[in-house]
Chains A and B, each alone.
Chain A
Amino acid sequence: MSLCKTRLQEERKQWRKDHPFGFYAKPNKAPDGSLDLTQWTAGIPGRPGTLWADASFPITITFPEEYPSKPPKVKFPSGFYHPNVYPSGTVCLSILNEEQDWRPAITLKQIVMGVQELLDSPNPDSPAQEPAWKAYSKDRVTYEKKVREQAKRYATG
């Protein structure tokens, strides 16, 4: 619907004017040479001083036709190691859930900041995958080791 594309272009413009340091976000290029405003690729930097530091984690953001009435879907690469990320890579976050805290006024900036926040502050009550969730609740040493290994794979220059 027209509200969706208007808002998405508005988000693109706002992002261009002002976006948080170390992040990037852009619509994907379609095979026909246009930009698909409903499919974005973004990079989330791990916060300095955390296990996730010095890396940029890629996500895809998919906006449904009913956006902004309905929230976008945010995905890490499949198999991403984090207690609140499903095996498929889908992020489980209350602001991205229509039945929980999603509101149409939430901006792209707030979404990516929310995902960054989630990296180092997992929600143990909302497990989305077994390995990371188990390790996080029962074996912190293994958890930290795995997270560091993953951060190395996505290390920035």
Chain B
Amino acid sequence: MKSLERVLGPERYLRIRNTSVLMVGAGGIGCELLKNLILCGFGTIHAVDLDTITLSNLNRQFLFRQKDIDQSKSLTVVKAVQNFNYNDCKLEGHHGNIMDTEKFPIEWWDQFSYIFNALDNLEARRYVNKMALFLRKPLMESGTTGFDGQIQPIFPYVTECFECQPKVTPKTYPVCTIRSTPSQPIHCITWAKEFLYHQLFDELEDKTQDQRRQLESETLDRQEIDNLLRESNELAELRRMVLEPGSQFAQELIHKIFQVDIERLVNIESLWRTRKVPEPLDLLELQHELDALLQEPRSQTILVKDTSTWTLLENLYVLIRALESLQKRISSGEESCVPFDKDDEDSLNFVVAAANLRSVVFHIDPKTKFDIKQIAGNIIPAIATTNAIISGFLVLASLPFYDQEPRSRGDFGPVPQTSSTVFTSIRPNKYVTAAALSQPSPLCPACSLSARGILHVSQKDAPTLGQLVEIIKKKYGYEDIALILGKAKLIYDVDFDDNVDRSVLEVAGFVSGELLQVQDDNDELENLEFYISLGDKNELPELVLRQKVKEKEKVKENEENGTGELNNGALEPVEIIDDEVEEPPTKRQKILDIID
């Protein structure tokens, strides 16, 4: 008997040998995870990723080598593991977007007994979560950021799904805050990178009209708009100087950006009623010291002091050096533009120094190069060890599911009760903590609001929209319904019957892979979400609908909680399994912002 068989137990071993699992994402966690899946002997493993390999992946995505750069991650990863594929697992790599419904229709998803997420973005996580809900398959969700990591087994409709805990969406800043009235370092960094650097060195499209329109929708002040547009035009002039070697480009730019523009802003009094007035740089006053710094060869060392905060003069020095270097690269014809890249020293130095100088002008604390690199480069620290530990837990946590004979769809037996979500961190006594899985949130926008199933529609013998409405009403017991296709296209309700006589196939957007939501007009039954599958039969899924929780009660409950959020009210208390932990893990909602 093989040792693996002894470890897993003969029955479980056999089930694992004969099953097929899906791994979504072949990056930091994916590499570690695939290794573990293979060494555990999973019979068939499919790996999906849309990405190609880059240099910065190689430090932790250990299945990739220098020679693999620019190759597909998913295809490379399945080849790379072959030399330790001792259990003869069948491997299939798919280079593509997991959300592509033509490449990965729901029938394709149905071949897997378990889905493992090794993803780095919210959109794909939400999509896979939804597929797991449709198919009622177990999903293992994961994420890491630095030393923090989390795994969450999801048993659809039995335990919390990915969307039961509300996720924070990334913040965007109004143009006016960025351009006229910054108040935090991030505003200055965004300005330096997205606006100033972009305007000077990156590829440009003509967006003057868009810019005016966007500004007008935001600001109160015509004077401010005109001023901002004027700034942009002048910047375009300066951009031309980049191409003229030997011009006073650096000096002119600094003079304009940190003195003239700021002086003009100061004059718009309406902006400074409630804010501290910015202070333009006085370059004449600084010139003497700056020249000395520029002539001193040892000043070079400033550039590598990336964890100390540079002085005003040091920032000016770095900015001038970066400008000279960038100008040289572009005016020599080597490059026509230099898009921002955190690993391009010139572009990074420019952004760091420009952001800090702007901070000084607006009385904001400057930051170190190291800090700004993280922010401007959207770097979420990735640590190979965390990924490895988390991937270990991913596979271990999936094994109990194979302890039992396969049951009917959506029935996971006692497994959800004994499964836990696991967190790792470097806080003492909290290296590894576990928590029992919570019940689905009754306010979850994904798993509480509706039942789900696949709607099969025959391409030869499709019903009209009106017929479909009647069939749905009769089958599930609705009195009246509204039908919403995709994101927000209403195709039918009691007040809108324009389309009822058309065949559903003629309703725009009624295609395979699209979602069709059924909403009860009488508010009695829960909503229903169909995944449309066009084929050779007409068939509705067998589902028993639950009574709806009344919207009004939910709102009331939320008002009482003081959150006002519709989807925020019902957080279940966390039950801690580990005795040594006194506080609940604080990383409950973590998975969202986590990379590979």
Binding site for B on A (CB under 8 A): 1-10, 12-13, 16, 27, 30, 32-38, 63, 65-66, 68-69, 86-88, 90, 92, 103-105, 126-130
Contacts and interface: CB of A to CB of B under 8 A. Distances in A.
A110 to B, nearest CB: 12
B555 interface: yes
Q: Is the interface of B mostly helix, strand, loop or mixed?
A: mixed
Contacts of A1: 126, 445
Contacts of B213: 88
A66 B169 contact: yes
Contacts of A88: 213, 216-217
Nearest to A7: B566
Contacts of B521: 13
Contacts of A33: 498-499, 507-508
Given A3-B449, A34-B489, A16 B495 contact: yes
A129 B521 CA distance: 42
B488 A105 contact: no
Given A2-B446, A34-B499, 17 more contacts: A2-B529, A3-B445, A3-B567, A5-B488, A12-B493, A32-B508, A33-B499, A35-B496, A36-B488, A36-B489, A37-B490, A63-B488, A66-B169, A86-B217, A86-B220, A129-B222, A130-B222
Given A34-B491, A34-B508, A90-B217, A105 B559 contact: yes
B190 interface: no
Contacts of B493: 9, 12-13
B482 interface: yes
B503 interface: no
Contact of A6 (B527, B555, B559, B565): B527
B509 A32 contact: yes
8 contacts: A7-B566, A10-B519, A34-B490, A35-B496, A36-B490, A37-B489, A88-B217, A105-B558
B449 A6 contact: yes
B485 interface: yes
A113 B52 CA distance: 53
Contact of B517 (A6, A63, A66, A92): A6
Contacts of B558: 105
Interface of B: 126, 169, 213, 216-220, 222, 445-446, 449-450, 482, 484-485, 487-491, 493, 495-496, 498-499, 507-509, 517, 519, 521, 527, 529, 551, 555, 558-559, 564-567
Nearest to B564: A103
Contacts of A127: 220
Given A2-B446, A105-B558, A128-B220, A37 B509 contact: no
Contacts of B446: 2
Contact of B565 (A36, A87, A104): A104
B463 to A, nearest CB: 17
A49 B498 CA distance: 40
A30 B489 contact: yes
Contacts of B495: 12, 16
Contacts of A68: 566
B491 A6 contact: no
Nearest to B522: A13
A14 to B, nearest CB: 9
Nearest to B225: A87
A87 to B, nearest CB: 5
Contact of B482 (A9, A65, A86, A130): A9
